[in-house]
Amino acid sequence: MESEMRCACGNVIKTRSTKPSIVVGICNACHPFYTGQQKFVDTAGRVDKFQQRMAKTQAAQAAMAASKTKKKK
């Protein structure tokens, strides 16, 4: 049975499948590996949130290491 694959970018590919239509998030027309373009999508500041959490974690680890060295002396 002939089927249509629809990508989020709008690309439509005709193929064969048991389903009449398939919706995919990424295809060969918009994938960075095939296009050679890098896309950095920062949805809702996720990268910034991660960097803030990472900074807090590193600060806590440094404080813990400093307190351990003071206790040993």
Distance CA 23, CA 8 (A): 8
Give the Cα separation of 44 and 42 in Å (integer). Answer: 6
What is the structure's pLDDT at 48?
83
Domains of the chain are: 2-55 (4.10.80.400)
- Predicted local distance difference test score (pLDDT) of residue 18: 92
Average pLDDT, 10 consecutive residues per value, the chain (73 residues): 88 91 84 69 75 90 82 63
Q: Which pLDDT belongs to residue 34? A: 67
User: In this predicted structure, what is the pLDDT of residue 69?
Assistant: 76
| Residue 17 confidence (pLDDT) | 92
Whole-number Å distance between alpha carbons of 41 and 62: 31
How far apart are alpha carbons 7 and 35 in whole angstroms? Answer: 15
Phi, psi of 54 (to 5 degrees): -65, -40
